Amino acid sequence: MAKAKRNSGTWKQTKNKGGRPKIVLTQVEIDQIKALASCGCTNDEIVAVIALSTPISKTSLVRSFGAVIKKGRDSRNARLRHAQFKQAMAGNVTMQIWLGKQYLGQKDKSEFSSPDDEPPQEIRLTFIDK
């Protein structure tokens, strides 16, 4: 970014020499970030892999390539949902119940009853030390 600077009554353009240098990665490295995010790698793990070829911090990674990471993780989530749905449609009852709870608001119903259909009045617990 250029700044205007007054020098002896005239204005001159000077280069900004401050700040961090822009991180420039190859398309292969950007695709690698997306692939690592899409298989569930954490930001620390992505940095560990990418930093082998280009020095980069976790903060810089997220700041510069957050959209790429989000796209990779969204892709992972969509593939996982598809696999879960496919399992449920194939007859996996556990997956059907779980998806019903997640998406349809279904829940387990717990019922307690006593012989007289009245709630218990008192419960006593006794603990014995050994």
By percentage, how much of the chain surpasses pLDDT 90? 35
Mean pLDDT of the chain: 81
pLDDT attached to residue 124: 78
pLDDT tens digits, one per residue of 89-117: 999 999 999 999 998 888 887 766 666 66
Q: 118 in helix, strand or coil?
A: coil
Q: Are 63 and 98 in contact, with CB atoms under 8 Å apart?
A: no
Global pTM exceeds 0.75: no
pLDDT attached to residue 95: 92
Q: Are 46 and 61 in contact, with CB atoms under 8 Å apart?
A: yes
Pairwise CA distance, residues 61 & 33, whole Å: 9
Q: Which DSSP symbol is given to 117?
A: S
pLDDT tens digits, one per residue of 38-61: 999 999 999 888 876 667 788 888
Q: 13 in helix, strand or coil?
A: strand
Which residue ranges make up each domain of the chain?
23-103
